[in-house]
């Protein structure tokens, strides 16, 4: 979003900040839905860290498959490569889900992509927003980040009696001056922009955070159940790539060790890794650069920067 495209704060009413409607979430997700437990806390350092700690000890028995911990405020969350992340009170969604899925070990690597696909579909279908999935775990709208997803193993992971913890942060009611980075956005800002552009808003809610959290968790649980029934995530790969903007892009993959590779993202591997066609360049003395034969490389970790579509 350029400065000229940004919503005018004078024309946009301030959002009403209120706690999540916990009774509604309990009724919809637990009593009538597939979830075993939902706990809401007022403030927490990190929902992922809290669950990893509890599932590594005796308290883990109280967190079976499909349990949810959500916080009104998160003060010490973390993203990929150890980056810090916090959320203002009553403005974002900071949520973690306990998972013990009936999937082979290789399928666990797809969980973040399944969650990102579920959120992207909800933003598109229920809110009319042009959301896209960015490998491996971000959701963007027009190139601006609206959500980050991070998975962590607890208690050795599902195969060792532990679990996979899936954390998801979503910018919902953040205003321009609250955005964590210049390349971020929020559901509120995107809905306001769509309204100013004359686009139809498909849904308006008095409690946007509660409605979005419920819709996202329902869609994610249904998507995970579909993968479990197939015994593999592979049949869902076309659905994932259909909402992913990374495939076909020229990208730079920034690796955990500090190095980087550049090429064209051409697909996903069976373990969810990104397949990139890397073209090496070389030159002799002061001669011109010459491209070498392309080599396909697989990346299971790293940040991806979209450069331009080929």
Higher per-residue pLDDT: 261 or 186 = 186
Place of tokens 């990893």: 52
In angstroms, the first-to-last Cα distance of the chain is 22
Q: Where do the domains of the chain lie?
A: 9-242, 249-309
**Over the chain, what is the mean pLDDT?**
87
pLDDT of residue 81: 45
Q: Write the pLDDT tens digit of every residue in 101-143.
A: 999 988 898 999 999 999 999 999 999 999 999 998 999 999 9
Nearest by Cα to 210 from 180, 187, 178, 177: 187
Query: How many residues does this entry show for the chain?
Result: 310
Higher per-residue pLDDT: 83 or 136 = 136
pLDDT of residue 17: 87
Where does the pLDDT of residue 218 fall: very low under 50, low under 70, confident under 90, or very high at 90 and above? very high
Helix and strand numbers (H, E) in the chain are 6, 14
Q: Is the pLDDT of residue 49 over 90?
A: yes
Helical (H) or strand (E) element with 194: helix 187-196
pLDDT of residue 310: 57
CB 237 within 8 Å of CB 209: no
Domain over 9-242 is classified CATH 3.30.930.10: yes
pLDDT of residue 56: 85
pLDDT of residue 260: 87
Where does the pLDDT of residue 4 fall: very low under 50, low under 70, confident under 90, or very high at 90 and above? very low
Q: Write the pLDDT tens digit of every residue in 22-45.
A: 999 999 999 999 999 999 999 999
Distance, in Å, from the CA atom of 24 to the CA atom of 122, rounded to the nearest integer, reads: 19
Burial class (CB in 10 A: 0-12, 13-18, 19+), 217: buried
pLDDT of residue 6: 43
Cis peptide before 136 (omega within 30 of 0): yes
pLDDT of residue 11: 44
Where does the pLDDT of residue 61 fall: very low under 50, low under 70, confident under 90, or very high at 90 and above? confident
């Amino acid at each position: 979003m350029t400065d000229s495209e940004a919503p005018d704060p004078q024309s946009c009413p301030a959002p009403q900040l209120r706690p999540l409607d916990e009774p509604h979430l309990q009724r919809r997700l637990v009593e009538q839905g597939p979830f075993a437990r939902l706990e809401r806390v007022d403030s927490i350092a990190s929902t992922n860290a809290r669950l990893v700690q509890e599932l590594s000890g005796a308290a883990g028995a109280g967190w079976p498959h499909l349990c949810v911990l959500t916080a009104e405020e998160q003060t010490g969350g973390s993203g990929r490569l150890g980056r810090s992340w916090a959320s203002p009170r009553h403005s974002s969604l900071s949520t973690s889900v306990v998972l013990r899925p009936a999937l082979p070990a290789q399928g666990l690597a797809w969980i973040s992509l399944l969650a990102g696909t579920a959120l992207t579909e909800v933003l598109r279908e229920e809110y009319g927003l042009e959301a896209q999935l960015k490998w491996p775990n971000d959701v963007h709208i027009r190139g601006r980040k609206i959500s980050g997803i991070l998975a962590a193993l607890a208690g050795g992971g599902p195969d060792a009696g532990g679990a996979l913890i899936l954390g998801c942060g979503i910018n919902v009611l953040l205003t321009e001056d609250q955005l964590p980075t210049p390349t971020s956005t929020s559901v509120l800002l995107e809905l306001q922009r769509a309204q100013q552009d004359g686009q139809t808003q498909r849904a308006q809610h008095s409690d946007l955070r509660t409605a979005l959290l419920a819709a996202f968790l329902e869609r994610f649980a249904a998507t995970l159940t579909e993968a479990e029934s197939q015994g593999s995530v592979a049949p869902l790969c076309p659905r994932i790539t259909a909402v992913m903007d990374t495939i076909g892009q020229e990208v730079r993959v920034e690796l955990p060790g500090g190095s980087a590779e550049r090429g064209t993202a051409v697909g996903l591997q069976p373990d969810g890794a990104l397949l990139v066609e890397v073209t090496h360049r070389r030159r002799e003395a002061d001669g011109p650069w010459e491209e070498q034969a392309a080599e396909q490389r697989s990346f299971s970790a790293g940040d991806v920067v979209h450069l331009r579509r080929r």
